[in-house]
Amino acid sequence: MPELPEVQSTVDYLSSRLKGRLIKDCSILWARTIFTHNPTNFKKLIVGQRILEVTRRGKFIVISLGSQNASSTILVHLRMSGSVEVLPSSIARDPYDRVVIALDNKKEFRFNDVRKFGKIYLAHNPQSILGRLGIEPLSSEFSVQKLVEIIANKKGAIKPLLLNQTFIAGIGNIYADESLWLAKIHPKRSAASLKQNDFIRLHSAIRKVLQDAIELKGTDNGDDVVAGGMYQPNAYGREDLPCSRCNSKIIRIVVGQRGTHFCKRCQKFPQRIK
């Protein structure tokens, strides 16, 4: 499931292929993928627009469009199984292609999504959709102090807070587990129980895990559609396998309705915390 590193890799892939291209046509093969408009209007609004740049915010791919009279933004959220490609129009489509945007170079941008959870938005003001997102964990603004501020006064376990996109944008289930593993923090620890040392380790772990994963183009998850990812999780998806740090077994529990993997020896639950 694409998270920040996979989305960043996707943006890197798209940028050189889309930047400067003119949108010539658009086929919507699964209407509900387009979240903000009906297919007719969506097509009408994007055909004739030029793609100015492709960037990322949280887990969103941000495609900025412009023309003489208007500017707008396409936002793509891959959710569970979404992926994108830019291919020559002559190559046959995949049965799971949901939206195909034809470019002015005989190529097509294809949004592919087996489970149909992915969403494409179109907005004049992208902030209307992106505005709720929290801080970018790889930005310079994301300091230890900021992390403390974000988590301060929050109740409940630490892991669900890491997954909340309005606090920190881009962390999903894989990198939440990985960050907590690297920081040696139990996923069910209450946010309020974290000490300064924990914040320092967690802050550094989040950044290292995300950066490493970007360099490796994301996670090599058999289920993952993002091709080429070589990041090897240490906790996520490793139930019953040995911890790469201490050789103890990785166990799986459910936290906030999400599968959660951690090392019982490395990530101890503090004795007296309730």
Partner DNA sequence: CAAACTCCCTGTTAGC
Partner DNA sequence: TGCTAACAGGGAGTTT
How many residues make up the chain in this entry? Answer: 274
**List 43, 59, 119, 159, catalytic entry:** 59
Kindly tell me which residue out of 58, 126, 137, 229 binds DNA, with binding defined by CB under 7 A.
58
Q: What angle do CA 161, 55, 109 make, to 5 degrees?
A: 115
- Whether 159 sits among the annotated catalytic residues: the reply is no
Number of residues binding to DNA, judged by CB under 7 A: 31
* Phi, psi of 189, deg, nearest 5: -60, 140
Express the helix, strand and coil content of the chain in percent, nearest 5 each.
30, 30, 45
Residue carrying the six token digits 């002015």: 104
Instruction: Name the residue among 93, 89, 20 with its Cα closest to residue 52.
Output: 20
Q: Which two tokens stand for residue 270?
A: 């503090």
Closer CB to DNA, 64 or 164, in the complex: 164
Q: Cβ of residue 108: shortest distance to DNA, in angstroms?
A: 21
Q: Cβ of residue 16: shortest distance to DNA, in angstroms?
A: 25
Per rule CB under 7 A, is residue 32 in the interface with DNA?
Answer: yes
User: 90-109: which residues touch DNA (CB under 7 A)?
Assistant: none
What string marks each residue from 164 to 183 as x (binds DNA by CB under 7 A) or -?
-xx-----xxx---------
User: CA-CA distances (angstroms) from residue 232 to 88, 97, 106, 126, 253?
Assistant: 32, 28, 37, 34, 20
Per rule CB under 7 A, is residue 5 in the interface with DNA?
Answer: no
Per rule CB under 7 A, is residue 259 in the interface with DNA?
Answer: yes
- Whether 6 sits among the annotated catalytic residues: the reply is no
Which residues are the active-site residues? 2-3, 59, 258
